[in-house]
Protein backbone atom coordinates (compact mmCIF):
# COMPACT_ATOMS: atom_id res chain seq x y z
CA UNK A 1 0.00 0.00 0.00
CA UNK A 2 1.06 3.58 -0.67
CA UNK A 3 0.14 6.69 1.32
CA UNK A 4 -0.13 9.81 -0.89
CA UNK A 5 0.11 13.37 0.41
CA UNK A 6 -0.89 16.47 -1.59
CA UNK A 7 -0.44 19.99 -0.14
CA UNK A 8 0.76 22.01 -3.14
CA UNK A 9 -2.33 24.25 -3.31
CA UNK A 10 -5.13 25.48 -1.03
CA UNK A 11 -6.40 21.88 -1.08
CA UNK A 12 -4.98 19.51 1.52
CA UNK A 13 -5.58 15.86 0.72
CA UNK A 14 -4.30 12.40 1.57
CA UNK A 15 -5.09 9.00 0.07
CA UNK A 16 -4.15 5.35 0.36
CA UNK A 17 -3.73 3.14 -2.71
CA UNK A 18 -3.44 -0.63 -2.89
CA UNK A 19 -1.98 -1.98 -6.14
CA UNK A 20 -2.97 1.23 -7.91
CA UNK A 21 -6.56 1.27 -6.61
CA UNK A 22 -7.83 4.06 -4.36
CA UNK A 23 -9.11 2.59 -1.10
CA UNK A 24 -9.28 5.62 1.22
CA UNK A 25 -9.22 9.37 0.68
CA UNK A 26 -9.75 12.58 2.64
CA UNK A 27 -9.61 16.16 1.40
CA UNK A 28 -10.29 19.65 2.68
CA UNK A 29 -10.05 23.18 1.31
CA UNK A 30 -9.00 25.20 4.33
CA UNK A 31 -6.56 28.01 3.55
CA UNK A 32 -3.43 28.28 5.71
CA UNK A 33 -4.36 25.20 7.77
CA UNK A 34 -2.27 22.46 6.15
CA UNK A 35 0.17 22.24 9.06
CA UNK A 36 -2.68 21.64 11.53
CA UNK A 37 -4.71 19.30 9.34
CA UNK A 38 -2.23 17.02 7.62
CA UNK A 39 -1.34 14.63 10.47
CA UNK A 40 -4.94 14.10 11.69
CA UNK A 41 -5.98 13.52 8.09
CA UNK A 42 -3.23 10.93 7.61
CA UNK A 43 -4.32 9.15 10.79
CA UNK A 44 -7.96 9.14 9.65
CA UNK A 45 -7.19 7.80 6.17
CA UNK A 46 -4.90 5.05 7.46
CA UNK A 47 -7.60 4.00 9.92
CA UNK A 48 -10.21 3.95 7.15
CA UNK A 49 -7.88 1.87 4.97
CA UNK A 50 -7.21 -0.51 7.85
CA UNK A 51 -3.45 -0.15 7.63
CA UNK A 52 -0.71 1.19 9.87
CA UNK A 53 2.63 2.67 8.89
CA UNK A 54 4.13 -0.81 9.16
CA UNK A 55 1.86 -1.90 6.32
CA UNK A 56 2.94 0.82 3.90
CA UNK A 57 5.32 0.06 1.05
CA UNK A 58 6.03 3.75 0.36
CA UNK A 59 4.87 7.30 1.02
CA UNK A 60 4.35 9.53 -2.02
CA UNK A 61 4.32 13.30 -1.83
CA UNK A 62 3.33 15.93 -4.38
CA UNK A 63 6.67 17.53 -5.20
CA UNK A 64 5.64 20.73 -6.98
CA UNK A 65 5.53 23.24 -8.36
CA UNK A 66 2.94 25.00 -6.24
CA UNK A 67 2.59 26.93 -3.01
CA UNK A 68 5.98 27.38 -1.35
CA UNK A 69 4.57 26.93 2.15
CA UNK A 70 2.24 24.11 1.16
CA UNK A 71 5.02 22.14 -0.50
CA UNK A 72 7.29 22.59 2.51
CA UNK A 73 4.60 21.26 4.83
CA UNK A 74 3.78 18.24 2.68
CA UNK A 75 7.37 17.25 1.99
CA UNK A 76 8.58 17.73 5.56
CA UNK A 77 5.63 15.69 6.86
CA UNK A 78 6.23 12.88 4.37
CA UNK A 79 9.97 12.83 5.09
CA UNK A 80 9.29 12.72 8.82
CA UNK A 81 6.98 9.72 8.47
CA UNK A 82 9.45 7.95 6.18
CA UNK A 83 12.36 8.52 8.52
CA UNK A 84 10.45 7.48 11.64
CA UNK A 85 9.04 4.28 10.10
CA UNK A 86 11.82 3.37 7.64
CA UNK A 87 9.56 3.76 4.60
CA UNK A 88 10.82 4.86 1.14
CA UNK A 89 9.78 8.26 -0.23
CA UNK A 90 8.35 8.77 -3.72
CA UNK A 91 8.14 12.19 -5.39
CA UNK A 92 5.15 12.85 -7.66
CA UNK A 93 5.14 15.70 -10.23
CA UNK A 94 2.19 17.86 -9.22
CA UNK A 95 1.07 19.16 -12.61
CA UNK A 96 1.41 15.85 -14.45
CA UNK A 97 -0.57 13.99 -11.79
CA UNK A 98 -3.22 16.67 -11.97
CA UNK A 99 -3.41 16.35 -15.77
CA UNK A 100 -3.71 12.59 -15.53
CA UNK A 101 -6.57 12.97 -13.05
CA UNK A 102 -8.41 15.34 -15.37
CA UNK A 103 -8.06 12.93 -18.28
CA UNK A 104 -9.33 10.04 -16.18
CA UNK A 105 -12.27 11.88 -14.64
CA UNK A 106 -13.43 13.23 -18.00
CA UNK A 107 -12.53 10.12 -20.04
CA UNK A 108 -10.66 12.23 -22.58
CA UNK A 109 -8.99 10.69 -25.61
CA UNK A 110 -8.24 13.80 -27.65
CA UNK A 111 -6.85 17.28 -27.10
CA UNK A 112 -4.04 18.62 -24.95
CA UNK A 113 -4.02 19.14 -21.18
CA UNK A 114 -2.42 22.18 -19.55
CA UNK A 115 -2.49 22.19 -15.74
CA UNK A 116 -1.57 25.61 -14.36
CA UNK A 117 -0.65 27.30 -11.08
CA UNK A 118 -1.03 31.01 -10.50
CA UNK A 119 2.45 32.50 -10.13
CA UNK A 120 1.28 36.09 -9.46
CA UNK A 121 0.76 38.98 -11.85
CA UNK A 122 0.23 37.52 -15.35
CA UNK A 123 2.57 34.58 -14.82
CA UNK A 124 1.72 30.89 -14.43
CA UNK A 125 3.53 27.64 -13.86
CA UNK A 126 2.39 25.11 -16.43
CA UNK A 127 2.97 21.74 -18.08
CA UNK A 128 1.53 20.77 -21.44
CA UNK A 129 0.89 17.22 -22.62
CA UNK A 130 -1.52 14.96 -24.45
CA UNK A 131 -4.17 12.64 -23.03
CA UNK A 132 -1.67 9.76 -22.85
CA UNK A 133 0.64 11.76 -20.60
CA UNK A 134 3.26 12.49 -23.26
CA UNK A 135 5.06 15.74 -22.47
CA UNK A 136 4.90 18.51 -25.09
CA UNK A 137 6.21 21.37 -22.91
CA UNK A 138 8.17 20.58 -19.75
CA UNK A 139 7.15 22.28 -16.51
CA UNK A 140 8.05 25.96 -16.72
CA UNK A 141 6.91 29.51 -15.99
CA UNK A 142 5.15 31.69 -18.56
CA UNK A 143 4.11 35.34 -18.69
CA UNK A 144 0.75 35.16 -20.43
CA UNK A 145 -0.22 37.18 -23.49
CA UNK A 146 -2.62 36.76 -26.41
CA UNK A 147 -0.08 34.70 -28.35
CA UNK A 148 0.56 32.16 -25.59
CA UNK A 149 -0.05 28.59 -26.84
CA UNK A 150 -0.98 29.98 -30.28
CA UNK A 151 1.01 27.34 -32.18
CA UNK A 152 -0.73 24.53 -30.29
CA UNK A 153 -4.23 26.02 -30.42
CA UNK A 154 -3.92 26.19 -34.19
CA UNK A 155 -4.21 22.40 -34.31
CA UNK A 156 -5.56 21.19 -30.96
CA UNK A 157 -8.14 21.85 -28.31
CA UNK A 158 -6.39 22.64 -25.02
CA UNK A 159 -7.94 22.09 -21.60
CA UNK A 160 -6.49 24.63 -19.15
CA UNK A 161 -7.04 23.49 -15.58
CA UNK A 162 -5.98 24.58 -12.10
CA UNK A 163 -5.94 27.91 -10.29
CA UNK A 164 -4.06 29.59 -13.15
CA UNK A 165 -6.81 28.78 -15.66
CA UNK A 166 -8.98 31.80 -14.80
CA UNK A 167 -6.06 34.15 -15.38
CA UNK A 168 -5.26 32.35 -18.63
CA UNK A 169 -8.85 32.80 -19.82
CA UNK A 170 -8.46 36.58 -19.58
CA UNK A 171 -5.94 36.67 -22.43
CA UNK A 172 -6.71 33.58 -24.52
CA UNK A 173 -9.91 33.93 -26.57
CA UNK A 174 -9.43 31.02 -28.97
CA UNK A 175 -12.52 28.82 -29.28
CA UNK A 176 -10.31 25.73 -28.92
CA UNK A 177 -9.27 26.81 -25.41
CA UNK A 178 -11.31 25.35 -22.53
CA UNK A 179 -10.89 26.56 -18.94
CA UNK A 180 -11.58 24.82 -15.63
CA UNK A 181 -10.17 26.65 -12.62
CA UNK A 182 -12.08 24.43 -10.18
CA UNK A 183 -10.05 21.32 -11.01
CA UNK A 184 -7.27 21.23 -8.42
CA UNK A 185 -4.44 18.88 -7.36
CA UNK A 186 -5.56 15.94 -5.24
CA UNK A 187 -3.96 12.93 -3.61
CA UNK A 188 -6.52 10.76 -5.38
CA UNK A 189 -4.76 11.45 -8.70
CA UNK A 190 -1.31 10.36 -7.46
CA UNK A 191 -1.78 6.60 -7.35
CA UNK A 192 -0.81 5.80 -10.93
CA UNK A 193 2.52 7.61 -10.79
CA UNK A 194 3.22 6.32 -7.26
CA UNK A 195 2.60 2.68 -8.24
CA UNK A 196 4.90 2.93 -11.28
CA UNK A 197 7.67 4.44 -9.19
CA UNK A 198 7.20 1.86 -6.42
CA UNK A 199 7.61 -1.03 -8.87
CA UNK A 200 10.65 0.66 -10.42
CA UNK A 201 12.25 1.29 -7.02
CA UNK A 202 12.36 4.99 -7.91
CA UNK A 203 12.78 6.47 -4.44
CA UNK A 204 14.15 9.77 -3.15
CA UNK A 205 17.07 10.36 -0.80
CA UNK A 206 15.52 11.60 2.45
CA UNK A 207 18.59 13.64 3.32
CA UNK A 208 18.66 15.64 0.10
CA UNK A 209 15.20 15.68 -1.45
CA UNK A 210 13.52 19.09 -1.63
CA UNK A 211 10.29 20.27 -3.30
CA UNK A 212 10.42 21.51 -6.88
CA UNK A 213 9.70 25.22 -6.45
CA UNK A 214 10.59 26.07 -10.08
CA UNK A 215 11.39 29.76 -9.65
CA UNK A 216 15.11 30.54 -9.41
CA UNK A 217 14.48 32.82 -6.44
CA UNK A 218 13.05 29.88 -4.52
CA UNK A 219 15.15 26.95 -5.67
CA UNK A 220 17.92 25.93 -8.04
CA UNK A 221 16.41 22.51 -8.64
CA UNK A 222 15.60 21.41 -12.16
CA UNK A 223 12.43 19.53 -13.09
CA UNK A 224 12.45 15.76 -13.11
CA UNK A 225 10.90 13.75 -15.92
CA UNK A 226 8.42 11.23 -14.52
CA UNK A 227 7.19 8.01 -16.00
CA UNK A 228 3.58 8.43 -17.07
CA UNK A 229 0.85 6.12 -15.76
CA UNK A 230 -1.05 4.34 -18.49
CATH code of the domain in which 15 resides:
3.30.420.40
Task: Look at residue 121 in the predicted model and tell me its pLDDT.
Answer: 86
pLDDT at position 219: 35
Q: What is the pLDDT of residue 184?
A: 94
pLDDT tens column, 38-91: 999 999 999 999 999 999 999 999 999 998 999 999 999 999 999 999 999 999
Q: Indicate whether 39 and 99 sit together in one domain.
A: no
> Rounded to whole angstroms, how far apart are CA atoms 158 and 186?
21
Instruction: Identify whether residues 88 and 164 lie together within a single domain.
Output: no
pTM of the model: 0.89
d(CA 4, CA 60): 5
Residue 209 falls inside a structural domain: no
Residues 6 or more apart in contact with residue 216 via CB below 8 angstroms:
none
Residue 228 belongs to some domain of the structure: no
Q: Are residues 77 and 135 in the same domain?
A: no
Residues 34 and 12 in one domain: yes
Does the residue 169 lie in any domain? yes
Q: Give domain status of residue 213, yes or no.
A: no
Considering only CA atoms, which of 67, 126, 72 is closest in space to residue 99? 126
Task: Look at residue 30 in the predicted model and tell me its pLDDT.
Answer: 72
Average model confidence (pLDDT) across the chain = 92
Q: How many domains does the chain have?
A: 2
Both 130 and 163 in one domain: the answer is yes
Residues 35 and 107 placed together within one structural domain of the fold: no
Is 227 within the bounds of a domain?
no
What pLDDT shows up at residue 227? 58
Note whether 90 and 189 are same-domain residues. Answer: yes
Is the residue at 217 inside a domain? no
Question: For the chain, which ranges sit under pLDDT 70?
Answer: 31-32, 215-230
Domain that holds residue 103: 95-180
Count of CB atoms situated within 10 Å of the CB of 14: 30
Report the distance separating Cα 228 and Cα 57, nearest Å: 20
Residues recorded for the chain:
230
pLDDT at 225: 47
Amino acid sequence: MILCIETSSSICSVAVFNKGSLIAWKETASVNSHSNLIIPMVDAVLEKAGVGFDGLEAIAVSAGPGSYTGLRIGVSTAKGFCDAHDIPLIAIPTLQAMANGFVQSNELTEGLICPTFDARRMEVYYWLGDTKGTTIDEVQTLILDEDSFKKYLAHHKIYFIGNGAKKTSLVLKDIKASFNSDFQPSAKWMGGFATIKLHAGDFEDLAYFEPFYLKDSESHLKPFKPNSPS
